[in-house]
Amino acid sequence: MTTRLIVLLALSTPSLAADAITWRSAATGGDVRGQVHTPQDSPAKLPTVVYLTNLSVPRIATEPSDAIVADLVASGHLVLVLDYAKHASASSPALNADLLKLREDIASKAKSLLAEYPADPDRLFILPEGFRLRRDVEFARDGKRVLAMDVAYPSKPAKPVPLLMEITCDNVNRMGSGSLLFCRDTLLEGGAIAGFAVAMVDHPVAPPYKGIDDPMPQCLHRMKAAVRTLRAMSDEIGTSGKVGAIGFSRGGPFAAMLALTNGRADLEDDGAHRGVSSAVQAALIHGNRYDYLNLRPDDPMLARFEKAWGPRNANERRWAEHGAAHYLTRDAAPMFLNTSDAESAEYRDGLAKFDARLTELSVEHVYQVDADGRGHRVTTDSKTLANVYEFFGKHLK
């Protein structure tokens, strides 16, 4: 539960009225004090930012927080500023536990934080101090559908930083809290705390998603356009041009394809920033199908694939081009493969076979199956999260 009283937080122009609260942190085991700032206009649902201050990780941005918070509120965001008072556990990856708890407490059915405010559960962003937010950055079009991304980046960093790009698991709302909570996914916002700029990008397949990545290769073209757009923004947002791709569930195969197709001019379309490189320097992928010509005979989706693409024996190329293995060469970027021992059989099998192909071609990668029983979820284990961010740091920083 939260405790409220009216206080005044002196920020740069204009000063902002704020409600004071306390919130119980999973990372520190104690209460964290906070202040809630509401914009002048308050529609039925407000995009919401939780802004984390006084962390015990290095502050890579140089712009003061007061201007950032004031701009967020002025642009219509509900902002909760939490002060961690330099607690030793306000660090990476320990704070990933709080990223998950914040989303649960604000956006779940049993919400206990900001319950009296019109926070939008599908536009909820968690930023470490010094980070700014750019929402709805368009990178491609699919007919009338606009594909866009939300980008969080350190404002005026002392030196350019690399960027992690995650392909959303939610076809309707790329930052949908329901999807992120179901997947227990804190990878992206945890990456910001670990020192990366981050972006959540729309999945290339229009909703409703039915387990088939069509059309191909147009869907891959869209993901390459997302990378090009992010790289074209590098000077503006202070990034280095080094990009890592992240994919869980339906995002996994596309993250893998990005890592496998660097330099493939034939897979670029005429979309945004055509002259900019779409190369990624590393990728994190999870259990899924990576070779449609080598599926388990009991795969529950076989009939649906055959209906969409025709009999496999007569349409091998069409089946193949949907799988990352079709694009695999020795020039692939390094990859971190991760799944759970309780993931579905076809997803574990798909990742294991992909690991074997990478090993066969001597492609640098990590293959880790966690004995944690988590099933179709992202890891919340602090050691594994630390390894993931270290992996990206090695290849991007």
The residues with which 147 forms a beta bridge, in sequence order, are 140
Q: Going along the chain, which residue ranges are E strands?
A: 5-9, 16-24, 31-37, 46-53, 78-83, 119-128, 131-142, 145-154, 161-167, 197-201, 239-247, 282-286, 335-340, 365-370
Q: What is the pLDDT of residue 272?
A: 87
Q: At which of 96, 125, 154 does a domain end?
A: 125
Q: What is the pLDDT of residue 41?
A: 79
Over residues 156-184, the pLDDT tens digits come to 999 999 999 999 999 899 999 999 999 99
312 and 236 belong to one structural domain: yes
SS3 state of residue 347: helix
Residue 17: the pLDDT is: 67
Domain that holds residue 371: 131-396
Residues 107 and 141 in one domain: no
Given a cut of 70, the residues of the chain with pLDDT beneath it are: 1-17
Q: Are residues 117 and 162 in the same domain?
A: no
Structure tokens at 230: 């992010």
pLDDT digits over 90-123, tens only?
Answer: 999 999 999 999 999 999 999 999 999 999 999 9
Position 16 scores a pLDDT of 62
Q: What's the confidence (pLDDT) of residue 269?
A: 86
d(CA 110, CA 306): 42
Find the CATH number of the domain harbouring 302: 3.40.50.1820
Residues 175 and 72 occupy one common structural domain: no
How many domains is the chain partitioned into structurally?
2
Kindly state whether residues 366 and 350 are assigned to the same domain.
yes
pLDDT for the residue 271: 84
